[in-house]
Structure 1
Amino acid sequence: MASDEGFSDFFYAAPDGLKLHARIYGERNAGGWPVICLPGLTRNARDFHELALHLSSKVENPRKVIAFDYRGRGQSDYDPDIGHYNVGVEAGDVLAGMSALGVEQAAFVGTSRGGLIIHVLGALKPTVLKAIVLNDIGPVIEAEGLAHIRSYLDRAPKPKTFAEAVDAQRLVHSADFPALTDVDWARMVRAICRETAAGWVPDFDPALVDTLANVDFSKPLSDLWPQFEALAAVPLLAIRGANSKLLSVATFEEMGRRHPGMESVTVEGQGHAPFLETGDLPEKIAAFLDREEKQAK
């Protein structure tokens, strides 16, 4: 049963038995493609709360929306083997969640790491993909952007109060996100942190940071162009933050050349990754899904 916040919690077992979590919005909606939301490296299902509410209740064609917590994030169990914190295992976890929910196909919204998982799903089980929204991610990851992520994760502050947590996020990210309002910053903190007796802490397994320890940022990172090209027949909306350090303009433009049907949106005043609940992004995403589903019939 849905909570007063518009969603219900769903727990299921990963292929290796780990207990994982997802939020389900509009669980009784059955009229259109369901939407699966996949967050970034250290993020969780709360990132998609406002977008999920919009897609599940504030549009003419309300959809079921499923937002996943990967292992080690949010309400999912931490994995004692940090080697399992990789996109291949996480893609398998998503497929297990879909199976547990009886969802055979869906539209996917992937932010950052979530978009990489979509590339893997396209290789593992392409029939599950009805449409794709990639949020500030593509087949080429700029080493500078990933190094920036590791840098602020390594130096993450330990705020005692909510106000200190908001100030800490502003200090790190405000240069890339001048478009954000006070409300946006507060919502961000509530999405990525949890309150404990010690203060506001990031809501993920600290061991996740160790998965970036051996990356050589002086060399180009491996690309996923073959996997991206395999998605050519799937409708695609690609979103890029104008100030993104992770997804370059060159890669964004090349994605459009290799996927001629790709729709693209550049979000001014935001970096990696744009907040999908801001501006007219919810409306654009909903319209894209409605349009593509109508054409598929």
Structure 2
Amino acid sequence: MPYSQRSVLGLSAVGFHRIAYTQWGRENADRTVVCAHGLTRNGRDFDALALKLADTHRVACPDVVGRGKSDWLANPALYGYPQYLADMAVLIGRLGVEQVDWVGTSMGGLIGMMLAAQPNSPIRRLVINDVGPLVPKEGLERIADYVGRDPVLEDIAGVEAYLRFVLMGFGRLSDECWRHLAEHSARRRPDGRFGLAYDPGIAVPFKAQPIGNVDLWPLWDRITCPVLVLRGADSDILLAETAEEMATRGPKARVAEFAHVGHAPALMDDSQIGVVTQFLNAEG
């Protein structure tokens, strides 16, 4: 299934910036899905899922500003959810549809929650991958330890080794999957070596204040669309008790848990992809 690299302009307080996205499937597909990645990741994380969906859906996988092929913001203090929500609203407008389904991993899941909670939201069905309305301090502290690092790596093998360490929560991925992640997570430096495909400045607002629990339950309780929650059984970001409560209040989500995975299920193997596609293909 062919895909194309596209972009749309977003606007921040310091000017316009380019939001890159990968689009799969037919332009005139009956349904459109937006797949949004985690804090330090990019839209190519969803290639395997998008390939499965592309026969029946148009799939747009953005690189959130500061990541992947998107522009970096001139003022890193502007990296945050107000900017991300505005940019995703622009993307939905570019896609030209009244409704979209949303698949979001970690940060992308929080973006999806925030969009789905708004009045007149265009979100039809929501998949939240390993994050929830209560994000515990301990998990955030672990992420804070590596977000914003700008390692200098000699080659793609070095990028892969680094990702296998910081993303070990993705679980038991094949060598092919790790290589795919590495190839799309690498940024060629002027000296010919490699860095990571994100702006280290994304850490500025993340570390601007003391880390504590993040409580978004009031937001969760405003969501009315059908919701699927995915959880890695060993996750330190979406705790088991939080997932259980998500199933009993607000939109009363369906919860699927995957063994031998932490934060977060990579959505690269058939078992995880199958749960998502079944939910998105359901009627109603």
Residue of structure 1 equivalent to 2:3: 7
Q: Cα–Cα, structure 1 residues 129 and 154, in superposed 2: closer, same or farther, change >3 Å?
A: closer
Shift of 1:74: 1.3
Residue of structure 2 equivalent to 1:130: 124
Residue of structure 1 equivalent to 2:200: 206
Residue of structure 2 equivalent to 1:42: 40
Residue of structure 1 equivalent to 2:157: 163
CA distance in 2, matches of 1:118, 1:135: 10
| Contact 1:122 1:227 (8 Å CA) reproduced | no
Shift of 1:277: 1.6
CA distance in 1, matches of 2:149, 2:78: 24
SS of structure 2 residue aligned to 1:130: strand
- Pair 1:93-2:87 in alignment: yes
Shift of 1:138: 0.5
Shift of 1:144: 1.3
Residue of structure 2 equivalent to 1:250: 241
SS of structure 2 residue aligned to 1:34: strand
Q: Identity over aligned residues, as a percent?
A: 31
Q: Cα–Cα, structure 1 residues 96 and 178, in superposed 2: closer, same or farther, change >3 Å?
A: closer
Q: Cα–Cα, structure 1 residues 172 and 38, in superposed 2: closer, same or farther, change >3 Å?
A: closer
Residue of structure 1 equivalent to 2:18: 19
SS of structure 2 residue aligned to 1:72: coil
SS of structure 1 residue aligned to 2:263: coil
**Deviations, residues 72-121 of structure 1 (Å, cap 9, x unaligned):** 11111111122221112111111111112212211100111111111221
SS of structure 2 residue aligned to 1:257: coil
SS of structure 2 residue aligned to 1:64: strand
Shift of 1:13: 1.4
**Deviations, residues 21-40 of structure 1 (Å, cap 9, x unaligned):** 11111133422x21011111
Shift of 1:260: 6.3
Shift of 1:205: 0.9
| TM-score when normalising by structure 2 | 0.91
Residue of structure 2 equivalent to 1:234: 225
Larger strand proportion, structure 1 or 2?
Answer: 2
| TM-score when normalising by structure 1 | 0.87
Counting matched residue pairs gives 280
Shift of 1:254: 1.0
**Deviations, residues 145-199 of structure 1 (Å, cap 9, x unaligned):** 111112123555422022222222233444x455223223222222322344442
Shift of 1:247: 1.1
CA distance in 1, matches of 2:119, 2:185: 30
Residue of structure 2 equivalent to 1:120: 114
- Pair 1:222-2:214 in alignment: yes
- Pair 1:269-2:260 in alignment: yes
SS of structure 2 residue aligned to 1:258: coil
Superposition pairs of residues 286-297 of structure 1, within 5 angstroms:
286-291=277-282, 294=283, 296=284
- Structure 2 unaligned runs (5+)? none
CA distance in 2, matches of 1:240, 1:172: 18
CA distance in 2, matches of 1:137, 1:193: 25
Larger helix proportion, structure 1 or 2?
Answer: 1
RMSD: 1.9
Shift of 1:142: 1.3
- Structure 1 unaligned runs (5+)? none
**Deviations, residues 232-264 of structure 1 (Å, cap 9, x unaligned):** x21111001112111111111111111464211
| Contact 1:9 1:24 (8 Å CA) reproduced | yes
SS of structure 2 residue aligned to 1:166: helix
